[in-house]
Amino acid sequence: MDVVWEWFQWLNSEHGIKLTIFYDEWDRNRFFGGIWTTIHLSLVCMALSIFIGMGGAWLQMSQFIWIRRIVQGYIQFFRNTPPLVQLYFFYFAVDSALASVTGIEGGVFSSYGWAVISLSFFAGAFNVEIFRAGIESVPKSMVEAADSLGFTSFQVFCYVTMPLAYRVCLPALNNNLINLIKTTTVAYAIAVPETLYISNQIWSDEYNVPEMMNIVWGVYILLVGVLVTFMHRWEKSIRVPGFGN
């Protein structure tokens, strides 16, 4: 590995391309730490948003109109307000209100915690609609057929509705999850130490804005690219010919 680090040092001294994240150990550690933060922030938010989406879709099938209205209100609120303002709202406003109610000094959650909550709710609002559309796309006759074969309603959901619905949802869900990775950069605004925030610190310390800017862009393209390829493979492998395109 040392050869690689030395090569980047040579690149700096010969060509003035200053990539400290490769030969300076301190910068390297914090930069890869930042990438790791982005990855697990994305994964946690994805999992939570899928959970919220499923719960919301289930609640939207409720027979009580007020429950459906509340879910609809939640969806419309998070879809039609800026994610950055939502994040500030949670981190500054809700946090201080909760702190004064519960009497906890110095905030209830950390900035990472609020980023997870805010981004999960944001992506979750889109997921609810996606899952609902998927469930609605399953033909009624299939559910009835399963019913007539003596399946319980839970079995119908597990063995008939869900396997078909998630194949229909997957393209839209993938789009939304990819969007979620891109939206995690917003956590920069509340000082979550993710890739963009750490890179900002590095280019402020080392005065290498153009190099770091390109590196950051490349890192995100790579992260999103990996997810896109993986998801497309998955989509292809589970496709049912003749069903939902």
* 204 belongs to the binding site for other proteins (CB under 8 A): no
User: Which residue in the set 17, 93, 145, 240 belongs to the binding site for other proteins (CB under 8 A)?
Assistant: 93
Q: From the centroid of its chain, how far is CA 84?
A: 14
Angstrom distances, CA of residue 234 to CA of 40, 231, 239 = 21, 5, 9
Angstrom distances, CA of residue 197 to CA of 30, 33, 83, 188 = 11, 11, 17, 5
Candidate segments 54-62, 106-114, 132-140, 180-188, binder of other proteins by CB under 8 A: 180-188
User: Which residue in the set 94, 133, 162, 231 belongs to the binding site for other proteins (CB under 8 A)?
Assistant: 94
Q: At what angle do helices 25-60 and 162-183 cross, to 10 degrees?
A: 140
Residue 93 Cβ vs other proteins, minimum distance, rounded to whole Å? 4
Name the residue nearer to other proteins (CB basis): 27 or 194.
194
* 229 belongs to the binding site for other proteins (CB under 8 A): no
C-alpha Rg value of the chain to the nearest Å: 23
Calpha distance 19→27 (Å, rounded): 9
* 163 belongs to the binding site for other proteins (CB under 8 A): no
Structure tokens at 37: 């933060």
Candidate segments 57-65, 162-170, 215-223, 231-239, binder of other proteins by CB under 8 A: 215-223
Note the residues at the interface with other proteins (CB under 8 A): 76-77, 79-86, 88-89, 92-94, 96-97, 100, 178, 181-186, 188-189, 196, 200, 209-210, 213, 216-217, 220-221, 224-225, 228
